[in-house]
Structure 1
Amino acid sequence: MTIEGTGKNGVYAGDGALGLLEDCTLSATGFPAVYVGAKAAPVLRRCLVRDTDEDLSQDDDAAARFEACRSSNVRTGTLPTAPEGEAVPAAAGVAAPPGGSGGASTPAATEHEGAGEDQLPELLAELDRLVGLDGVKREVASMAKLMRMVKRRQEAGLQPPPLSRHLIFAGNPGTGKTTVARLYGRLLAALGLLVRGHLVEADRSALVGEYVGHTAPKTTAVFQRALGGVLFIDEAYALVPAGQGNDFGQEAISTLVKLMEDHRDDVVVIAAGYPDDMDRLIDSNPGLASRFTRTLRFDDYSSADLVEIVEHQATRHEYRIPRDTAAALLARFDAVERTERFGNGRTARQAFQRMTEQHAMRVADLDDPSDEDLTVLQPADVPAVVA
């Protein structure tokens, strides 16, 4: 079924409404494509929303369920969407996702999810390949083992131990927090403890409104996008500005605490930010301290770590870094002052970019550059430290 060009909503589920809508495409609607009223609990399955301003608007008390739905070319998207590769209807001018022909059966989806635990060794190996972060990697690997045991106890009909999956990531910018959060979600999905394991990133601007009554709906919309996965709140301490007691950020925190309680098995929340500022966030609401009981500390990268990051970048882009260039890089990173402007991994990536620019300028003057000329980064290409 196709619903197109409506003056208002494409689908309107009024207060308390129920029902099932399957294999439907909605596009070019005047109002949000789908509206769900208070205490309404419709099920939308394998629906596609495309080419419209907003895909979903729903009341705070709505209980709609979205199964294998997707949005495409939508300006404001809050619809919980299907994982990549899960089929949705193919409308005119819109190709079906890879691996689907327009209608995925439920048994197939269940079989795919059940095979997830086979991915654990590769996911843990991917975690171990990250540069530095030795303490973080040990913590995450330990939590994966613990949660695997929790799952086995549940399967055996035993009560699981008390366990909070929500985390504080305390560290300076550029220390790999987002990368680890994404892997954490994939690990939990492989264990069957999250449906999808996808990552939704947010910050204060995505959660806090500009006027009374605006914050709770904004926070709820972002949270709903993260259902089945991980909500990663970067610079989370900004929700509690220092010295400002009356701020809409408190409303965002209260809303998050309630949603985390209502959906305790459906989502993981990771709050990230500077180590010294995260205590202020936790102390701002008693509900946060009881939900965020574990903190992972992301240390700054050492100079040797930064060289390794540059070497990874070089390999990825088909450059080579000989030993003398690596030694020049190490000396360069040792000389960098570790102020609050220090970017950790970003500093390494910026150094690599400047090296390739300098290399290009140097090689461009050669009449007939060899393969070695085109690929080898020399010590002369290492940028000088700017005071």
Structure 2
Amino acid sequence: MNDAARDTAAPTVSLAAEYAASGVGPVLQQLDDELVGLAPVKQRIREIAALLLVDRVRAKFGLASEPPTLHMSFTGNPGTGKTTVARRMAEILFKLGYVRRGHLVAVTRDDLVGQYIGHTAPKTKEVLKKAMGGVLFIDEAYYLYRQENERDYGQESIEILLQVMENNRDDLVVILAGYADKMDQFFRSNPGFRSRVAHHIDFPDYTDANLLEIGEKMLAGLSYRLSESARAALTQYIPARRAQPLFANARSIRNALDRARLRQANRLFSEGDQALTLERLTTIEEADIRASRVFGQSPGA
């Protein structure tokens, strides 16, 4: 039998059919729909999904395989979508059979590290128990261990995490998140983590145009809209807020719009007993945006 005949007779698997059957497509589409921008992040998530899908197809052919290392590091400033992407990643891993439950458990140092001898191990193990079968998301992971404090109990939590990340990587994916420079320092100080993390994904800041689009999507989800003058005001608000301390990308925009909604409600209430139309109830006006302290001299939102 020649090579062509052998190729014809060999069993085949349709990758497109596997992809459709997995249910990963709608999750990736949801990620596209709910997150503005972040094209490099979305591309990396698609690449990881493709790797896992092909790995699953290879297993159907009986090819040598072992559970891939899927622990990740998400770096970037606050409000850039890291938790949202982690949640969708948990769904993708579940759809492809790499975790049993596909849930996300998001924690910080306070959830893992105790304040006295004998307190840390039970806390860390309880969190890991809740996270098994899904994804454990540790925000600001570099605070796990405070090297300057000789009595800090974070090292005990780190040792437990490292052991579980190695021995239970077929049932738990850990995502470490935080500022890029602090995460680099954390990995240098804890090489055990670096050797266990296979995927490093950087989340860029949103552009001003991204944040305006995000703000309008947030409002639309709550059945609000910006008037033309309010949209112009928000366009000016975004770079002004970015220049102030503690800017947190989409989180800062959400906070600003929450306050704008509060001002709108008070404005409507103060106008007295007038018949409220649907348009008035759902429209954020320029004054609701410009009342922010950001347009003055005082720091704030």
TM-score interval (norm. to shorter): 0.7 to 0.9
Aligned pair partner of 2:283 in 369, 376, 385: 376
Contact 2:104 2:134 in 1 (8 A): yes
Contact 1:314 1:320 in 2 (8 A): yes
Aligned to 2:23: 119
Q: For residues 43-77 of structure 1, give each alpha carbon's deviation from its aligned partner in whole angstroms, at most 9, with x where no partner exists.
A: xxxxxxxxxxxxxxxxxxxxxxxxxxxxxxxxxxx
Aligned to 1:137: 42
CA gap 1:245/1:295 in 2 versus in 1, 3 angstroms: farther
CA gap 1:339/1:165 in 2 versus in 1, 3 angstroms: farther
- Give the whole-Å Cα distance in 1 for the aligned partners of 2:67 and 2:128: 23
Contact 1:116 1:192 in 2 (8 A): no
Residue type matched to 2:125 in 1? T
The offset of 1:324, in angstroms, is 3.3
SS of 1:336's equivalent in the other structure is: helix
SS of 2:65's equivalent in the other structure is: coil
Q: For residues 172-222 of structure 1, give each alpha carbon's deviation from its aligned partner in whole angstroms, at most 9, with x where no partner exists.
A: 222211111110000110111111110111211111122233322221221
Residue type matched to 2:75 in 1? A
Aligned to 2:13: none
TM-score by structure 1 length?
0.66
SS of 2:209's equivalent in the other structure is: helix
CA gap 1:242/1:362 in 2 versus in 1, 3 angstroms: same
Residue identity (%): 42
CA gap 1:246/1:340 in 2 versus in 1, 3 angstroms: farther
- Give the whole-Å Cα distance in 2 for the aligned partners of 1:358 and 1:173: 26
Residue type matched to 1:263 in 2? N
Please list, as runs of the form range in 1=range in 2, the aligned pairs for 1:206-221 lying within 5 A after superposition: 206-221=111-126
CA gap 1:200/1:298 in 2 versus in 1, 3 angstroms: same
Could you tell which deviates more after superposition, 225-234 or 239-248? 239-248
The offset of 1:339, in angstroms, is 4.9
SS of 1:297's equivalent in the other structure is: strand
Q: For residues 319-355 of structure 1, give each alpha carbon's deviation from its aligned partner in whole angstroms, at most 9, with x where no partner exists.
A: 1224432222111111124455112222111111121
Aligned to 1:347: 252
Q: Counting helix residues as a fraction of each chain, which structure ranks higher?
A: 2
Residue type matched to 1:232 in 2? F
The offset of 1:159, in angstroms, is 1.9
1:261 aligns with 2:166: yes
Structure with bigger RCO (C-alpha 8 Å, 6+ apart): 2
CA gap 1:194/1:259 in 2 versus in 1, 3 angstroms: same
1:148 aligns with 2:53: yes
Residue type matched to 1:265 in 2? D
Residue type matched to 2:139 in 1? D
Structure 1 unaligned spans of 5+: 1-113
The offset of 1:117, in angstroms, is 4.3
Contact 2:19 2:25 in 1 (8 A): no
The offset of 1:282, in angstroms, is 1.5
Aligned pair partner of 1:231 in 133, 136, 146: 136
CA gap 1:274/1:339 in 2 versus in 1, 3 angstroms: farther
The offset of 1:278, in angstroms, is 0.7
- Give the whole-Å Cα distance in 1 for the aligned partners of 2:124 and 2:20: 30
The offset of 1:301, in angstroms, is 2.0
TM-score by structure 2 length?
0.84
Aligned to 1:298: 203
- Give the whole-Å Cα distance in 2 for the aligned partners of 1:280 and 1:339: 26
Residue type matched to 1:164 in 2? T
Aligned to 2:5: none
Alignment size in residue pairs: 274
Please list, as runs of the form range in 1=range in 2, the aligned pairs for 1:222-371 lying within 5 A after superposition: 222-244=127-149, 247-364=152-269, 365=271, 367-371=274-278
Contact 2:233 2:289 in 1 (8 A): yes
- Give the whole-Å Cα distance in 2 for the aligned partners of 1:208 and 1:233: 12
CA gap 1:370/1:212 in 2 versus in 1, 3 angstroms: closer
Aligned to 2:32: 128
SS of 1:195's equivalent in the other structure is: coil
Q: How much is the aligned-residue C-alpha RMSD, in angstroms? A: 2.2
The offset of 1:246, in angstroms, is 5.2
- Give the whole-Å Cα distance in 2 for the aligned partners of 1:310 and 1:185: 26
Q: For residues 296-339 of structure 1, give each alpha carbon's deviation from its aligned partner in whole angstroms, at most 9, with x where no partner exists.
A: 11122222222222211211111122443222211111112445
CA gap 1:119/1:319 in 2 versus in 1, 3 angstroms: same
CA gap 1:205/1:144 in 2 versus in 1, 3 angstroms: same
Contact 1:116 1:189 in 2 (8 A): no
CA gap 1:189/1:116 in 2 versus in 1, 3 angstroms: farther
